[in-house]
Amino acid sequence: MANGAAAVRGGGSGGRRARATLRDVAEAAGTSRSTASRALGGHGYVADHIKERVEAAAERLGYVPDVSARTLKGRSSGLVGVLVSDLRNQFYAELAAGVEHTLSAAGYQMVLVDDHADEERAAAGARAFLAMRADGVLLTPVARGATETLVGHGVPVTELDRRSGVRGCDAVAIDNERGARLAVEHLIGLGHRDIGIVVDEVQWDTGRNRLKGYRAALRDAGLPVPRRHALDLSQGEGDQAGRLAAFLDGNPSLTAVFAANNVMAELVWQELKRRGRAVPEDCSVVSFDDLAWMKMVEPGLSAVRQPVFDLGGRAAELLLDRVGRDGAGRAESVVLQPELVLRGSTAPPKN
C-alpha cells in the first residue's frame, strides 16, 4: 500500500481506497498544487528534480484527473469558464490553448465563450457560467460588468491580457508599455524621427499603455510627439482602411510606423503594399504581436512578441490556486515581459 496521502481514507466500505487528487499528489511531493499541475501537464518551468518527485508521487498514488469525482461531491462542477473577445484573432486562440493545457492537466473542463468584444454578450456569458456553477472564470474583460457579476456571486475570477479595474480578482497581463517602448526605441536607434502609431482598443489598458509607451519613448529621446502622428482606430467613423489611407496621406513625412497590434499591422502592411511603398526602404514597420504570417511575408515583419500561451497557462494556474483556497486570499497581479523580434521590415531611413 502507498504511504502518506495514499493510505485508505474513510475506513468503512470494505477498506476501499479513496481516489487520489491533485492536492494529494502535491502534498505527497511536498509542492504547491499549481507546481504539481505544471509538472504533470508539462506547462511552465519546473525544476527537473521537482518534476520527477511529482511524477513519482502521482504514480505511487495512482492519480488520474477526474472531473466527475469532484462533481459528485456537490462542491465542484469541474468546469472553468473562459471568456475571450474574438477567436478569429490568432492571439485569442493561442491564449485559450494555453488555458486549456493547464486546466486539462488538473482535470478541469474548459467552457469557452466568444463575446466578440461586446459588453452584452460578455454579460450573458457571465450569467451562463453562473448557471452552470463554474468553479472559476478566466476572462479578457471588455467592461466591468461581467467581472463585477461573477465576483459579486463569489466566483473566483482571473482577468488576463487586460484589466477591468474591479477589485477582488487576480490578473495576468503583458507589460504593454515596455513592449511599445522596445519597438519605438528600436526605430529611434535606426535614425527615425518621424514615427507614426496606428492603435485601437484605447478604451482598454492594453491600447492605452501601448500608446503611452510610444509617446514616452519619443519624449525620452527628445523628439516631438505630434498628435497628427497617432491614428486611433477605436474612435471616429468610417472604415478602418479608408481612415488609415487618409492618415498616411496627411503624414507624408513618416519614415516608420508602429502598429499597436496584429490587426493594425495587417492593415498597415496591406496599405503600404497597395501604395507601392517598399518596406523598409520607404517606410519601416514594427508590429505589437508576432503571428505566423509575419515570418512568411517578404521582408519578414519585426514584431514585439508576447508569451501568449504562457499568459493563458499562468492565468489558469492563478485561478486554480484561488479555487483551491475557496476564493480566499489577497488578489494577485502578474506581469509577463515581451521581447522584440527583429526581421527585415526595419532599416535606417533613406535620408
Q: Contact 340/304 with Cβ under 8 angstroms?
A: yes
- pLDDT score recorded for residue 19: 67
Which class is 176-306 in CATH? Answer: alpha beta
Q: Which helix (H) or strand (E) holds 61?
A: helix 48-61
List residues bridging with 158 in a β-sheet.
Answer: 138, 170
Q: What CATH code would you report for 4-61? A: 1.10.260.40
Cα(113)–Cα(174) distance, integer angstroms: 22
Q: Contact 158/172 with Cβ under 8 angstroms?
A: yes
Cα(121)–Cα(80) distance, integer angstroms: 18
pLDDT digits (tens, 9 = 90+) for 171-194: 999 999 999 999 999 999 999 999
- Amino acid identity of 154? G
- pLDDT score recorded for residue 70: 46
Q: Contact 255/284 with Cβ under 8 angstroms?
A: yes
Cα(346)–Cα(168) distance, integer angstroms: 43
- pLDDT score recorded for residue 67: 45
Is 176-306 in the same CATH topology as 4-61? no
Ranges of the chain whose pLDDT falls below 70 = 1-19, 41-45, 64-75, 236-237, 327
Q: Helix, strand or coil for residue 304?
A: strand
Half-sphere exposure of 350 (CA within 13 A, CB side): 10
- pLDDT score recorded for residue 11: 38
If one counts every other C-beta atom within 10 angstroms of the C-beta of residue 3, the result is: 9
pLDDT digits (tens, 9 = 90+) for 47-77: 888 888 998 998 888 776 544 444 444 567 8
- pLDDT score recorded for residue 23: 87
Cα(142)–Cα(290) distance, integer angstroms: 22
> 333, 196, 190, 317: which is closest to 265 by C-alpha?
196
Q: What share of the chain is helix, strand, coil (3-state, %, to 5)?
A: 45, 15, 40
Cα(291)–Cα(301) distance, integer angstroms: 9
- pLDDT score recorded for residue 324: 82
- pLDDT score recorded for residue 201: 85
Q: Which DSSP string do the residues of 220-284 spell out, in sequence order?
A: HTT----GGGEEETTSSSS-HHHHHHHHHHH-TT--EEEESSHHHHHHHHHHHHHHT--TTTT-E
Q: Which DSSP string do the residues of 120-181 spell out, in sequence order?
A: HHHHHHHHHHHHTT-SEEEE--SSSHHHHHHHHTT--EEEESS----TT-EEEEE-HHHHHH
**Cα distance from N-terminal residue to C-terminal residue, the chain:** 78
Q: Contact 212/239 with Cβ under 8 angstroms?
A: no
Tell which CATH architecture fits domain 76-174+308-337: 3-Layer(aba) Sandwich (3.40)
φ, ψ (nearest 5 deg) of residue 135: -70, -25
Cα(81)–Cα(125) distance, integer angstroms: 9
Distance of CA 179 to the CA centre of its chain: 14
Q: How many helices (H) and strands (E) does the chain have?
A: 14, 12
- pLDDT score recorded for residue 35: 86
pLDDT digits (tens, 9 = 90+) for 265-312: 999 999 999 999 999 999 999 999 999 999 999 999 999 999 999 999
**Residue recorded with cell 499591422:** 265
Whole-angstrom Cα Rg for the chain: 24
- pLDDT score recorded for residue 1: 35
Answer yes or no: pTM beyond 0.85.
no
- pLDDT score recorded for residue 75: 63
What are the sequence ranges of the domains in the chain?
4-61, 76-174+308-337, 176-306
Cα(42)–Cα(87) distance, integer angstroms: 25
Q: Helix, strand or coil for residue 313?
A: helix
